Amino acid sequence: MTRPEPVRFLRTEASMAFPEGRLLALRDGAVHVLAADGWTRLGRERPSTAVWLSREAAEDWCEREGWDLNLLDHVPSTR
């Protein structure tokens, strides 16, 4: 049994539409954004202004924004 690929989380800069920024996840070399319908793949390049977050900081972001914490465990794999 193999271990799942690690997921790294990021947050975009704040904007008028997203005062807390957007939550991103990097898995298998692909960047995903948390959207209303779940994780949406953005591509392979992360936004240059996105900052890395720890898992705890990503959980805090979800709690502030009202997202289900279980979403952090369901970032799609490209494999």
**pTM for this predicted structure:** 0.89
Q: Are 68 and 61 in contact (CB under 8 A)?
A: no
- The string of pLDDT tens digits covering residues 17-74 is 999 999 999 999 999 999 999 999 999 999 999 999 999 999 999 999 999 999 999 9
pLDDT of residue 79: 74
Q: In sequence order, what DSSP letters do the residues of 60-78 get, joined into one string?
A: HHHHHHT--GGGGG-PPP-
Q: Is 39 helix (H, G, I), strand (E, B) or coil?
A: strand
- The string of pLDDT tens digits covering residues 3-18 is 555 899 999 999 999 9
pLDDT of residue 78: 77
Q: Which residue's structure tokens are 């952090």? A: 72
Domain residue extents for the chain: 8-73
- Neighbour-count burial of 75, counting CB atoms closer than 10 A to its CB (0-12 exposed, 13-18 middle, 19+ buried): buried
Q: Are 40 and 32 in contact (CB under 8 A)?
A: yes
